[in-house]
Structure 1
Amino acid sequence: MQSVLTLHPRGDMTSSWWAAAAAMAAVTFFTVGGNAAVLVALKRVNRAPAHYPLASLATADLLLGLLVLPIAAARELFVFHLNWAICSCWSTLDVLCCTASILSICTLGWERFCGITAPLARAQRAKTARLLAALIWPVATTIAIPTAFIPSPKHFLPGEIAKACTVNTNSSYVFVSIFFSFYLPASVMVVLYARILRALAAPPSIRFHRGQVTNNVEKVIPDAVVVNVDSVTPADESQENHKVPKSIVVPPSPKTGHFMIPSSETVRAITSPLKRLKFPVAGIISRQRRATRTIVMLMSLFLLCWTPFFVMLPVDSICECVRDAAWLWCTWLGYTNSALNPLVYAASSPAVSRALHASLTTTTCTRTTDVTRTPLPRRT
């Protein structure tokens, strides 16, 4: 088998060559360091449903930085040759890690949607998120393994120096793989985030139901109705560090004995005493606006980083007309998403952000950062 025979710079070592080398080294460093810190931080906080897809995302990006990016940078900067086994493993890991990262982002979007639309179903969300996070890797492996065995034509043009390992540009494989690894997850994400934005734009919902009231209120008002303000619970319950009232007791009409759904003025009158108790209505609106900005940023960053590559790849598989410089920019723009994910996704969770800050500023690893959760109201 042919191994590494020569190793010399690809082209002249000009300022552009050094700038590209510095940029690739920075992307690799921040991908490894950022995602490793996120995994450490996730061990220091109490488990939340969103942490399972976030852990899968950080694992995929960390493996990408450790196993894929060093060879990807070397093949862009130097001329050398690797045997078939090493190139097959590298290309398989490349597709595996990138696909797992994208599917983890899609799963995280689903969890955020469920967290906003059904904030009280925390146990069910955690169970489903754990299952989906575990299924990401078998699906990504199924998509990635064929790239090592399906023959691929050379995609470099005359006058360009062949690289150590090539990307599989077999047309049939490319179109099938990019559909399941990018276009289908991206479509699901667009639908999910559109529904999230619509849910955030809706006014706070108030649910009325009859039931037993805690704190012995049923002894005073037997037929009372509990008004639950669903929007009090945020998308990430671990953000709350204080107890807030979750229900309002509304007695039936003294004349008819029947409960009448109160008007907005009545609800405002009922909730006005709670404002004096620091009922966080303004905080709810602020969190909704912040969540809206975060969602728009997440979706924009994902599409900005990955769309050029997944448009260029099928085009080149058909016409073999994409220049090497376009491959370089589009490929590393997609890799950059893995370096930016820790900043965006982890920073959007205050619990993980605090633990991440503690991990970077504390020398001991024995300290545990616990997040106080808001107790959920009892259901009868």
Structure 2
Amino acid sequence: MYIFMVCIILATLVGNLTVIISISHFNHLHTPTNFLLLSMATVDFLLGFLIMTCSMVRSVEHCWYFGELFCKIHMSMDIMLSTASIFHLSFISIDCYYAVCDPLRHKLKINTFIILVMILVNWMIPAGFAFGMIFLDLNLRGAEEIYNHARCAGECFVFFSETSGVESSIVSFYIPGFVMLYIHRKIYSTAKRQARSIDTISQKKMHFETKNDISFGRERKAAKTLGIIMEVFLICWSPFFFFTATNPFMNYVIPPILIDALVWFGYLNSTFNPIFYAFFYTWFCRALKMILFGKVFQQDSSRTNLFLE
């Protein structure tokens, strides 16, 4: 189990660290959209470095060795970073919506200031929600006796009452998930309509390609990538949040070991995110090669255009 979980953690750290280094180092990647990707990669990296490492010891040893105060800090940061990662995905879908459905005004609507506001929201709301819930014991509201009876010494797990379980699932998963589904449906219908229009135009002008066609192709590719990321996100996190919302109403019949396994299944979403960049973005592959071969230490390497063939 340790070997298996260490592999997951290393994949999460290496993948997201590569995204962080790539966007931070190369000047051509300094765009508002990529700043949002950079923020999400930072969240996923911290989730792997700060949360998954301690969760690994807890999951394998079935015991918490780091004290009660750090247990609360760990639970708060776990909820915060997991929620922030999901929030980033929903805001990335909003950015993709404007890029595909309103490309002429995309840069005007999604500028650096708007992205900074998005990033601030992605960090502050999950932080206030998570730390407020755990340190004010709002997650135990109405179920204090059940918690005291169920909790054993040396354990560290997030316990939800009926109310807090539903509220946590709605805030952390169902609202951003619904936003992603709705926006992706709009993107899909718009992209399909635009594709038919371009096919019609292409039949009239053979062997003629414009910058707009290239740009549209990139946006369609981004929309396709978003769709796959969204599907993986739903697969990874749906089981955990479903049982989080329903388990209190079923008198906590779900064994803790299963809940813990579903948490790790959700963590995999942060592992998979940078992998999709490697498959669908050529700039990521080229940046990865330059990082692996140490070319980022060469003079003026930050000016390398990763989009050139």
Q: Normalising by structure 2, what TM-score? A: 0.83
Q: Matched residues, percent identical?
A: 21
Instruction: State how 1:38-49 maps to structure 2 within 5 Å.
Output: 38-45=19-26, 46=28, 47-49=30-32
What letter is aligned with 2:96?
R
Structure 2 Cα separation of the partners of residues 156 and 73 of structure 1: 24
User: What's the counterpart of residue 182 of structure 1?
Assistant: 173
Return the structure number with greater helix share.
2
User: What's the counterpart of residue 38 of structure 2?
Assistant: 55
Instruction: State how 1:338-353 maps to structure 2 within 5 Å.
Output: 338-345=270-277, 347-353=279-285
Structure 1 position 49, deviation (Å): 2.9
User: What's the counterpart of residue 191 of structure 1?
Assistant: 182
Structure 1 position 123, deviation (Å): 4.2
Quote the RMSD (CA, aligned, Å). 3.2
Structure 2 Cα separation of the partners of residues 37 and 99 of structure 1: 22
Flag the 1:351–1:279 CA change in 2: closer, same or farther, 3 A.
Answer: same
Structure 1 position 90, deviation (Å): 0.3
What letter is aligned with 1:59?
T
What letter is aligned with 1:308?
P
User: What's the counterpart of residue 316 of structure 1?
Assistant: 247
What SS does the aligned partner of 2:160 have? coil
Q: Normalising by structure 1, what TM-score? A: 0.68
Structure 2 Cα separation of the partners of residues 157 and 353 of structure 1: 52
Structure 2 Cα separation of the partners of residues 74 and 156 of structure 1: 23
Instruction: State how 1:1-380 maps to structure 2 within 5 Å.
Output: 20-45=1-26, 46=28, 47-78=30-61, 79-121=63-105, 122-127=107-112, 128-145=114-131, 146-150=133-137, 152=140, 164-204=155-195, 269=204, 271-272=205-206, 275=207, 278-279=209-210, 290-291=221-222, 293-318=224-249, 319-345=251-277, 347-366=279-298, 367-371=301-305
- Which one has the largest radius of gyration? 1
Flag the 1:157–1:306 CA change in 2: closer, same or farther, 3 A.
Answer: farther
Flag the 1:139–1:300 CA change in 2: closer, same or farther, 3 A.
Answer: same
CA contact (8 A) 2:25 2:302 kept: yes
Question: Gapped runs of 5+ residues in structure 1?
Answer: 1-19, 207-230, 233-263, 375-380
What SS does the aligned partner of 1:120 have? helix
Structure 1 Cα separation of the partners of residues 290 and 149 of structure 2: 50
Flag the 1:162–1:76 CA change in 2: closer, same or farther, 3 A.
Answer: farther
Structure 1 position 89, deviation (Å): 0.6
Structure 1 position 203, deviation (Å): 3.3
Structure 1 Cα separation of the partners of residues 285 and 257 of structure 2: 37
What letter is aligned with 2:229?
L
Deviating more after overlay: 278-287 vs 21-30: 278-287
Structure 1 position 328, deviation (Å): 2.7
Flag the 1:130–1:373 CA change in 2: closer, same or farther, 3 A.
Answer: farther
CA contact (8 A) 1:113 1:195 kept: yes
Structure 1 position 125, deviation (Å): 1.4
Return the structure number with greater strand share.
1
What letter is aligned with 1:120?
L
